[in-house]
């Protein structure tokens, strides 16, 4: 596979979207400013040493914070602990399995500084899913939150794990708030199970690393001296929606390039050292990892971490107590906020921008957000395999409603048919991507890599259309398309229509077998209040959709299954339906 970091920028000059970047977006992507991620982290820590870098905000308002200087010192100590105390080699994989909390950046940055590979792991995984990822990645160390560490019991002997390091959600809090929170978790919520596996607590690991650093006179920067853009930084596992989860190999160059690409589109709205970003999405997810964590750390922002955004009231204290200027989220998060009286009555006054990704942003949600907050949601598009940003609506340009925007600088995008040939303008085709942010491949999966990357192009599996100006619109996932009497029906379109109903909170659409039409459309709807009927939904759809797109059946439900970032899981809805009807 060619190295897109060395591709000449002029290859993108003829792309139709370049003319619509606007004056503040450079058409050509500059090379990354840093040789590797540890250099970026150290520069930010040096420049903003005394400023607060991270604050964990609990639902009860209790909080803890770390400055840039403290994060740097703790991360250096953890890097020394990994390399000297545990004897890990450069390139060793270290799994990190925690919700959003102060321990996350300390550990993640320490792993990168050690020249090791970060394996982001969902803390909500079942033991089966955990074992698969630990075994597949070959991780030698796992850093896990105490709430879920009991899941490791019985599986460690079947993995390469040599050391378990346990962290707490209120790690680094002052003694009194930490004791209160721990007491509530242990005695009231009963979410702290007894640990019966051999482990080390994070403070002990940091103390040992700091002592070795001083005793041996180690400069942690030495661990990164041999790192380059091509070296592996992270294994970011896909959600497993297409089968067994695979580890996307993201290099230092992939992530650094994607930071430059994100800044190219949004730098006009970022003031160095002055931003306050709300991180409700989990940091182990690639969207929050690259955008919230790495991007905003590099510009000296204060990152307000929310361990769990569910229920949505958990975000209230963050909005009440901090002057939030940026927020990232998915459609369901924005929609949920706007159904909270405390948010609509007192929307954030300092908010500059909201960024949506991970799932289609529904038109009704975008319009209502603008009306309530006075700021628009800029929708983008990306995927784990592209670090993740592929396209974005420029903050300084002219947004296109229902669009994922323009490909970011340095990125080639094409739409192709089943035979791999480009489709005509305005016609739907599979979106394929080539650029410096595209992964090097799937970890130990050459067969899957060959299916996903062909001649340097990443085949995304998403169906999109492009207008004459180079703005793209995602039609749907290729695998989610419903074939009704030979007509292609895309769930996104139907979900967007149903979401416009005042009575609807959330909706998920999928295809089911039909003896007459091959497949028919089924909609699962969560109403805002009781009383919404199937016929009301179908009648509304008939006003806005041609007949074959109108849901044949509508199920009124109390909730929809979602991913940890809030994306509705159509595959789960479909599996539930199939299980019921098979039975």
Among 9-13, 170-174, 326-330, 359-363, the minimum mean pLDDT is found in 9-13
Among 227, 250, 281, identify where a domain stops.
Answer: 227
For 217-244, what is each residue's pLDDT tens digit?
A: 999 999 999 999 999 999 999 854 345 7
- Between CA 470 and CA 477, with CA 475 as vertex, the angle to 5 degrees is 120
Q: Are strands 457-466 and 429-434 parallel, antiparallel or unpaired?
A: antiparallel
Higher pLDDT: 191 or 89? It is 89
What is the rounded distance in angstroms from the CA atom of residue 36 to the CA atom of residue 233? 9
Helix (H, G, I), strand (E, B) or coil at 531: coil
**Are the CB atoms for 408 and 264 separated by under 8 Å?**
yes
Among 227, 260, 282, identify where a domain stops.
Answer: 227
Per-residue burial over 6-44, b if 16 or more Cβ lie within 10 Å, else e, is ebeeeebeebebbebbeeebebebeebebbbbbbbbbeb
What is the rounded distance in angstroms from the CA atom of residue 214 to the CA atom of residue 217? 5
On whether residue 82 sits in a domain, the answer given is: yes
Record the tokens describing residue 383, joined without a space: 């995927």
Residue 2 has pLDDT above 60, yes or no: no
On whether residue 113 sits in a domain, the answer given is: yes
DSSP 219-275: -GGGGGTT--TTSEEEEEE---TTSS--EEEEEHHHHHHHHHHHHHHHGGG--TTT-
On whether residue 563 sits in a domain, the answer given is: yes
Record the tokens describing residue 208, joined without a space: 């040992």
**Are the CB atoms for 92 and 143 separated by under 8 Å?**
no
In this prediction, residue 401 carries a pLDDT of 77
- Banded model confidence at residue 182, pLDDT cuts 50, 70, 90: very high
Cα 520 versus chain centre, distance: 32
**Average pLDDT value for residue range 19-37:** 90
What is the rounded distance in angstroms from the CA atom of residue 390 to the CA atom of residue 398? 18
Which range marks the domain in which residue 147 is found? 68-227
What is the rounded distance in angstroms from the CA atom of residue 71 to the CA atom of residue 82? 16
On whether residue 197 sits in a domain, the answer given is: yes
In terms of residues, how long is the chain?
583
What is the rounded distance in angstroms from the CA atom of residue 45 to the CA atom of residue 105? 12
For 96-138, what is each residue's pLDDT tens digit?
A: 999 999 999 999 999 999 999 999 999 988 898 899 999 999 9
Measured CA to CA in angstroms, residue 273 lies from 105, 277, 420 at distances of: 18, 11, 46
Residue 7 has pLDDT above 70, yes or no: no
On whether residue 408 sits in a domain, the answer given is: no
Residue 5 has pLDDT above 80, yes or no: no
**Are the CB atoms for 287 and 262 separated by under 8 Å?**
no
What is the rounded distance in angstroms from the CA atom of residue 488 to the CA atom of residue 542? 17
On whether residue 304 sits in a domain, the answer given is: no
Count of structural domains, the chain: 2
On whether residue 172 sits in a domain, the answer given is: yes
Q: Using the 8-state DSSP alphabet, how is residue 362 labeled?
A: P
On whether residue 447 sits in a domain, the answer given is: no
Residue 193 has pLDDT above 70, yes or no: yes
Phi, psi dihedrals of residue 522, rounded to the nearest 5°: -125, 135
Tell me the CATH number at 177. Answer: 3.40.50.980
For 440-450, what is each residue's pLDDT tens digit?
A: 999 999 999 99
Among 177, 201, 227, identify where a domain stops.
Answer: 227
For 132-157, what is each residue's pLDDT tens digit?
A: 999 999 999 999 999 999 999 999 99
pTM: 0.88
For 410-461, what is each residue's pLDDT tens digit?
A: 999 999 999 999 999 999 999 999 999 999 999 999 999 999 999 999 999 9
Higher pLDDT: 214 or 1? It is 214
DSSP 282-295: -TTSHHIIIIIIII
Tell me the CATH number at 516. Answer: 3.30.300.30
């Amino acid at each position: 596979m060619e190295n897109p970091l060395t591709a000449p920028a002029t290859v993108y000059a003829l792309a139709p979207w370049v003319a619509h970047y606007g004056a503040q977006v450079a058409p050509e992507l500059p090379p990354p400013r840093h040789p590797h991620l540890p250099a970026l982290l150290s520069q930010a820590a040096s420049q903003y040493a005394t400023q607060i870098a991270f604050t964990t905000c609990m639902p009860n308002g209790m909080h803890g914070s770390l400055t840039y200087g403290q994060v740097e010192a703790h991360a250096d100590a953890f890097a020394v602990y990994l390399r000297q105390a545990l004897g890990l080699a450069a390139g060793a994989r270290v799994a990190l399995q925690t919700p959003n909390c102060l321990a996350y950046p300390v550990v993640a940055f320490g792993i990168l500084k050690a020249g090791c590979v970060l394996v982001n792991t969902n803390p909500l995984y079942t033991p089966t899913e955990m074992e698969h990822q630990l075994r597949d990645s070959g991780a030698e160390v796992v850093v896990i939150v105490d709430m879920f560490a009991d899941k490791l019991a019985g599986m460690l002997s079947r993995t390469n794990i040599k050391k378990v390091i346990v962290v707490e959600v209120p790690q680094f809090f002052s003694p009194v708030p930490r004791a209160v929170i721990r007491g509530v978790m242990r005695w009231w919520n009963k979410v702290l199970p007894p640990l019966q596996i051999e482990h080390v607590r994070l403070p002990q690991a940091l103390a040992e690393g700091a002592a070795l650093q001083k005793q041996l006179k180690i400069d942690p920067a030495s661990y990164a001296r041999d790192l380059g853009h091509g070296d592996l930084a992270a294994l970011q596992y896909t959600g497993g929606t297409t089968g067994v989860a695979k580890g996307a190999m993201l290099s230092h160059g992939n992530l650094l390039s994607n930071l430059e690409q994100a800044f190219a589109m949004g730098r006009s709205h970022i003031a160095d050292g002055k931003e306050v970003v709300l991180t409700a999405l989990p940091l182990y997810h690639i969207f929050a990892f690259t955008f919230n964590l790495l991007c905003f750390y590099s510009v000296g922002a204060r990152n307000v971490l929310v361990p769990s955004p569910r229920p949505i009231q958990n975000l209230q204290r963050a909005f009440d107590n901090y002057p939030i200027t940026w927020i990232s989220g998915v459609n369901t998060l924005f929609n949920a906020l706007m159904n909270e009286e405390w948010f609509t009555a007192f929307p954030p006054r300092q908010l500059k921008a909201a960024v949506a990704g991970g799932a289609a942003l529904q038109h009704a949600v975008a319009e209502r957000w603008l009306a309530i907050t006075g700021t628009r949601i800029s929708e983008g598009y990306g995927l784990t395999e592209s670090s993740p940003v592929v396209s974005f609506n420029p903050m300084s340009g002219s947004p296109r409603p229902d669009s994922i925007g323009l490909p970011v600088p340095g990125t080639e995008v094409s739409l192709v048919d089943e035979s791999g040939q480009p489709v005509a303008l305005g016609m739907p085709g599979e979106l394929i991507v080539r650029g410096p942010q595209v992964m090097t491949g799937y970890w130990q999966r050459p067969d899957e890599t060959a299916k996903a990357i062909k001649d340097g192009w990443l085949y995304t599996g998403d169906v999109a259309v492009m207008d004459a100006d180079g703005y793209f619109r995602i039609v749907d996932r290729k695998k989610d398309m419903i074939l009704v009497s030979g007509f292609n029906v895309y769930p996104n379109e139907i979900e967007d229509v149903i979401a416009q109903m005042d009575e609807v909170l959330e909706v998920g659409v999928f295809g089911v077998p039909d003896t007459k039409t091959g497949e028919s459309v089924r909609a699962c709807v969560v109403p805002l209040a009781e009383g919404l009927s199937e016929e009301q939904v179908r009648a509304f759809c008939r006003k806005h959709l041609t007949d074959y797109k109108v849901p044949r059946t509508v199920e009124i439900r109390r909730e929809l299954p979602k991913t940890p970032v809030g994306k509705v899981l159509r595959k789960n809805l479909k599996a539930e339906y199939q299980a019921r009807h098979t039975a």
